[in-house]
Structures are given as structure tokens and as C-alpha cells.
Amino acid sequence: MKPTSTSQSSQCPFHAPAEDASSARQAHPPGVWPPGPRSGLTGWGLLRRMSRDPLGTFADLRQRHGDIIHCRIWPEHQIVLADPQLVRELLVSQHEPLIRWERGIQVFSQLHGKSVLTAEGEAWRSKRHALQPGFSPKNVQSFVPVIAAAADSAFAQWQADGSRWPIESAFTSLGMDVIMRMMFSSEIDEDARAAEWAVHATAVAGNAEMYWPASWPDWMPWKRTKRRAIAVLNRLVDRQIDARLALARDAWPMDLLSRLLALHDEDPSAWPLKAVHDECMTAFLAGHETAAATLTWWAWCMAANPEAQTAARREVETILQGRAPAASDLPSLVYLGQTLQETLRLYPAAPVLLSRRSVRPITLGAWQFPARTMFTVPVQLMHHDPRWFPDPLAYRPERFAPGAPAIPRGAFMPFGTGPRVCLGQHLAMAEMTVIAAMFLQRFAVTAPAGMPAPRPEFNITLRPEVPLHLSLASTSAPASVDIRLAAAASSLSGRTPRSATR
């Protein structure tokens, strides 16, 4: 279908042709919809296309119809927003009348229960207020020694002999180890390794179910993989909670689980153990997945851009002088931070935000939308827009350098924006910076000869379609966790990290 060039608006709920610039500046009366694709009788064909290739579909729609697109997928009116100013207006100024898409929340709730991720209204505000202090930049600094200890332990086992190394799987295991230490003061064990498979299995199952108005019950024979994956994750979390409760309160380490159980002790009615379980599950899943996915893509970007890799390593060597990073070092690793930001621009872990629904009529720009309108924000589409990022598919960390041209507000939002911005964004950035710095101290990474660029695949988060393998070579003597680092980690946990099963 060719882009339309007509300038009239339509009140037909199934199709509205594109408009010219002069009419787009005028305020449109209620009942008039932005331009969008022809939907046919139900629009379910478009839905099938989205389910198979959401990122490609949104890119094609934006090219054909502009930055604000009306998709009629019966029984919904869905608006796809790719304009940074309107996105900020929606998520910041207009956030009060918005709820998250009910079907998406229903799917997430199968694993996350009633956590801060899935809660709405006053329940969400209460949970967010209680959890926010634990993820403040100051509290995040206390986890840097734990992150560095996990990275040092993992990198000592990685092979730097130039062979194809399963970098994605290795970073996923490292991310799992980090979150186990931060949440449970427990090093990775067999249950946690089984959880790596379970996280992937539940993500694939959840992404498939998102596009259907209802799901077959989980007890159906063909859903045994999903059932087993959820059971693995629930068992891991419950085992950690039970082991912690078996300890005297003064023996609890100062980790995320102890902070959640402290909320339970202070107000058991507001924070029953089920609520602690749900928040543990959300922190556990989100806490390792974003970092692992981003570090995987970062490693590819380093391999594909050796000059950027060399510059980042030079900065790390200059700042750290061979030692493990401390919290005070992170602000000085400026260029390394830029390489991570550029990776998040090209490969945001959440390339499409969970859709929102308006519970009352709202106005965005020149458009007036009725209650129950659905809004979708394709983050990656804005990150790849040449208007905001010239030569958008090129890897250029200098886009984020001090003094670089300003990026329009809303055009770069890898962690979302507004009141629902990712609770763990500071922790994720600290974790990725520490691990990336220690990686560059030990390894030079290259792509095997003839290897094509990995193709992104969207299953809740953005991962390579085929598990990524890269070649590692040793750079110099590894930076070990020294005595001061080990002492800091021990002080944070209140004891030597150990498995809760011992």
C-alpha cells in the first residue's frame, strides 16, 4: 500500500487518510482520528503482523502515516506515538488518566503477581513510595562492591583463547549471579542456573500470549514448558524467603530481600509475605534481564567498532589503574558511559513500552481522544529517527558527549519516563558500568570472521535472534577484587555471601 497524500480527515473508525501539514496544525474535533492503515473488517490482520514483527511494523507505519498513527483493531482504537514531544506529554503531563493495558498486565501478573510492575492507582503509589529509597543513587552505590565481586568471579572462568565464546549466555549467567547477590546475598547455584532457562521460557510464552485477548489455561498439555518455568522461578524465590525467615533478625544481611522483609515486619497487612514474594520476583526478573541484554548488545557494539572499544579501554585503564571500580569511580568513566548509552539507543532492552489506556478523554497536541483509547510508544523507533539522531544506525558514542548537540526531550528514553520510569534505572546503569569496565580490563572482543550482524528479536526484551557468540582475547593481567573490595562486600552483606540452602 502506498502512502496516501490526501488532506481530509475521516470520522470512520476503521480508516482515516493522511493529512497535510497545514491541517495537522489545526485542532481536530472529537471523533476525528489521525491517519492510519486500512483495517479491513476487524483489523486483526494488522494485529497478526504486529505479533510477528512489531518493530518492523511500527517502522513501516511511521514511514507511511507519520508520527501519530491510528490503528483500528477491533474492538480497540490504538494510537502509536513516535513524536517525542507528544510522548512526554502523554507519559508525564497526562499520566493521571492512564492505566497500563489490561491484557499485558494480565499476562505479566501470571509471574509478577501484584507487584509494583502490575499495580495501579493507590496500590501502585504506595508500593512505589515504599520501594523507591532502596533504589536511590546513594543506596545503589553500596552494591558496587557486590557487582564487582560477581564480575571478577565470572571473568576468571571465561576463555580468552580467540575461540567463539557464548557471550550472551555468559552475560546472562553473570547478570543472574549479580542479582542473586544483591537480592539474596547468595552466589549463583544450580537453582539459579535453571532460572536462566525459565526466564527465557516465560518471556517467549508471555510475548506470544500478549497478542491474544485470552489464553488457554496453563494446565493444557502443550503449556507444560511454561508451567515448569514458572514453578522453577517461584521455587527459587520461596526458598530464599524461607531461608531468610529461618535466621534471627540480627543475622539478616543488608540486601534487597531484607529490606522487603523489613516492610513486612513493619506493616504485615500492607506487606504480606505474598507481596514480598511478588516484589522479589519482579526485582529478580527485571534486575538481571535488562543488564544482561544490554551488555550482550554492548559487547557486539565493541566487537563491531574496535576504535570505540580501544577508546573505552584506554579510559578504563587511565581511571582505574588496574583495580576494580569503586562507586566513586563511576562518574569519571565518561566515555564508557557513552558507549552504554549508545548501545541502549540502538538496542533498548524494552523497545516498545507496555501500552496505556486512557480512562477518560484526553487531548494530545491537536487531537482529542475518547476514553478507552489505547496508546503505544515504540521507543526504538524514536531512537532510530534520523531527525533526532543523524545516521541513526551508526554506532556513535559521541552523541552523548558533553557539548554534543542536545537530544530532544523524549527522543531517548531507554528506561521510560514519567512517574512509571524504571525503578531500577540507577542500579542498572551502575551494574552495567562496573561490569563493562572490568570486562575491558581483561578482554578484547572481536566478531568471528564472516559473522553477520545479529538480528534483534523482541520477546518482552530485545535479544539477538540467534544466541550471540564472540571471540575473546586477553588484554593484560586481570584486575582482581582486592582486600579492600572484599572487605566492603562483607560489610554490605553482614556476612560472607553464601547459598541460602547451606
Which residues contribute to the annotated binding site for heme? 422
338 contacts 311 by C-beta, under 8 angstroms: no
Distance CA 354, CA 375 (A): 9
DSSP-derived 3-state class of residue 174: helix
Distance CA 118, CA 197 (A): 23
Q: If you compute the radius of gyration of the chain from its CA atoms, what whole number of angstroms results?
A: 23
Closest CA to 24 of 38, 35, 37: 35
First-last CA distance in the chain = 63
Pairing of strands 356-358, 374-376: antiparallel
C-alpha cell at 245: 525467615
Helices 102-112 & 224-245 angle (0-180, nearest 10):
50
C-alpha cell at 163: 575461540
Give the annotated binding-site residues: 422
Distance CA 283, CA 267 (A): 20
Q: Which long-range contacts (CB under 8 A, 24 or more apart) does 209-217 make?
A: 209/107, 210/51, 210/103, 210/104, 210/107, 211/47, 211/48, 211/50, 211/51, 213/103, 215/107
350 contacts 379 by C-beta, under 8 angstroms: yes
What's the gap between Cα 67 and its chain centre? Answer: 23
Please enumerate in sequence order all residues whose Cβ is within 8 A of that of 238, keeping only pairs 6 or more positions apart, or say none: 277
Give 149's DSSP letter: H
- Taking CA atoms, 358 is separated from 92, 369, 454, in Å, by 14, 9, 37
Closest CA to 210 of 104, 80, 306: 104
C-alpha cell at 66: 507519520
DSSP-derived 3-state class of residue 163: strand
